[in-house]
Amino acid sequence: MTQEGRAISAVPREVTRSAATERPERAFDELPRRTRALRPSRLWSIREEVPAAVRRTLIALGVVAPLLVWWALAASRTVDPVFLPAPLDVLRAGRELLASGQLGADALASLTRVAFGFGLAVAVSVPLGLLIGSFSAGEALLEPLLALLRYLPASAFIPLLLIWLGIGEPSKVGLLFIGTVFFNTLMTADVVRLVPRELIQVSYTLGATRHEVLRKVIFPHALPGMIDAMRVNAAAAWNFVVVAELVASTSGLGYRIVRAQRFLQTDQIFAVLVVIGLIGLAIDLGFRRLRNGVAGWAS
């Protein structure tokens, strides 16, 4: 008690003495100073919200302006319509494709291929990612090879796939698989590695076996990240399916583009491109909803 009392009473004396009699010690020249404070900004404040009205206007501008430029370029006839068809022509071409049933059939064919190829990649990459992310042994065994294979361009496998699997469906599904499985495995492994070590250790002290830790701790913790990885790689799969259909194909959105090119129907190519973009967007939204649905705790 007394010891503490002394320590406390000693403090103010020291402070008053240094403030009254001693100049602060100075070892350097005066520091140059910025005299102006940061000026407030409405549009350029980093990581700050802009007003809702401004935000809506910007969104509209970002979508409408490019469309207007496209329309103006086409209407002015400065560019040959074979190179750049007018927006309305594209819309008409799209409607015709839709009415003939070709567009629906092509979209369905492409989506089915993605479902099989990418589905297979997910089925393989999730267990592999769990293995690599959870066990050093798995990491040592698999990661070096996968990290290398990831850099081999999937499209370079097309000739090989045609030789191995023929020109039918298997070679297209195979391309989607090769194009996404390595990335999805390594990205899954990354989110699995993010599961805190403390969480795993505490689970052991609650009586969990390694198997239970994998199933009841690591998997649920990594699930939102795994769905995010799938969302990114589904976009890649959607790209690859069009590439796959450009070669030796009789259906699909990629095939439709090649066919339209043969007859210089650029309006059809544009219409198919728009559809590819819209379906891609829908896939993306679907994965977002899935993530919020099964893993709302992480958002």
Partner 1 sequence: MSVALQVRGLVKEFPGRRRGSVRVLDRLDFEVAASEFVCVVGVSGSGKSTLLSLVAGLLPLTAGRLELDGVPITGPGPDRGLVLQAPSLYPWRTVERNIAFGLELLGLSRAERRARVAWYLGVMGLEPLARSLPRQLSGGQRQRAAIARALACEPRLLLLDEPFGSLDVQTKEDMQVFLRTVWDRTRTTVIMVTHDVEEAVFLAQRVLVLASDPGRVAAEIPVHLPTDRTLEIKRDPRFLQLRSRVEDMVRAQHRNHLAATTATT
For 253, the enclosing helix (H) or strand (E) is helix 253-262
Number of residues that bind partner 1 (CB under 8 A): 22
Using CB under 8 A as the binding rule, whether residue 208 contacts partner 1 is answered as: yes
Which one among 152, 202, 281, 285 touches partner 1, defined by CB under 8 A? 202
Binding map of partner 1 across residues 3-42, x = CB under 8 A, - = no contact? xx--------------------------------------
Q: Which of 145, 146, 126 is nearest to 134 (CA)?
A: 126
Residue pair 276/260 in contact (Cβ under 8 Å)? The answer is no
Using CB under 8 A as the binding rule, whether residue 198 contacts partner 1 is answered as: yes
Which one among 120, 165, 236, 298 touches partner 1, defined by CB under 8 A? 298
Residue pair 227/294 in contact (Cβ under 8 Å)? The answer is yes
Which are the contacts of 14, defined by CB distance < 8 A and separation ≥ 6? none
User: Could you tell me how far CA 270 lies from the centroid of its own chain?
Assistant: 25
DSSP 208: -
Q: How far is the CB of 228 from partner 1 (least distance, A)?
A: 15
For 171, the enclosing helix (H) or strand (E) is helix 169-193
Q: Which range touches partner 1 (CB under 8 A), out of 100-108, 149-157, 206-214, 233-241?
A: 206-214
Which one among 90, 130, 217, 275 touches partner 1, defined by CB under 8 A? 217
What's the sign of the alpha-carbon dihedral 181, 186, 187, 189?
positive
User: Could you tell me how far CA 160 lies from the centroid of its own chain?
Assistant: 29
Q: Which range touches partner 1 (CB under 8 A), out of 66-74, 207-215, 241-249, 284-292?
A: 207-215
Phi then psi dihedrals of residue 53, to 5 deg: -65, -45
Q: Looking at beta carbons only, is 14 or 198 nearer to partner 1?
A: 198
Q: How far is the CB of 122 from partner 1 (least distance, A)?
A: 21
Q: Which range touches partner 1 (CB under 8 A), out of 71-79, 143-151, 212-220, 241-249?
A: 212-220
- Tokens 């194009």: give the residue: 179
Which one among 144, 196, 277, 286 touches partner 1, defined by CB under 8 A? 196
Q: Is 77 left (phi over 0), alpha (psi -120 to 50) or beta?
A: left
Using CB under 8 A as the binding rule, whether residue 206 contacts partner 1 is answered as: yes
Using CB under 8 A as the binding rule, whether residue 201 contacts partner 1 is answered as: yes
Q: How far is the CB of 215 from partner 1 (least distance, A)?
A: 11
Which token pair is 296? 């709302």
Binding site for partner 1 (CB under 8 A): 1, 3-4, 196, 198-199, 201-208, 212, 216-217, 220-221, 295, 297-298
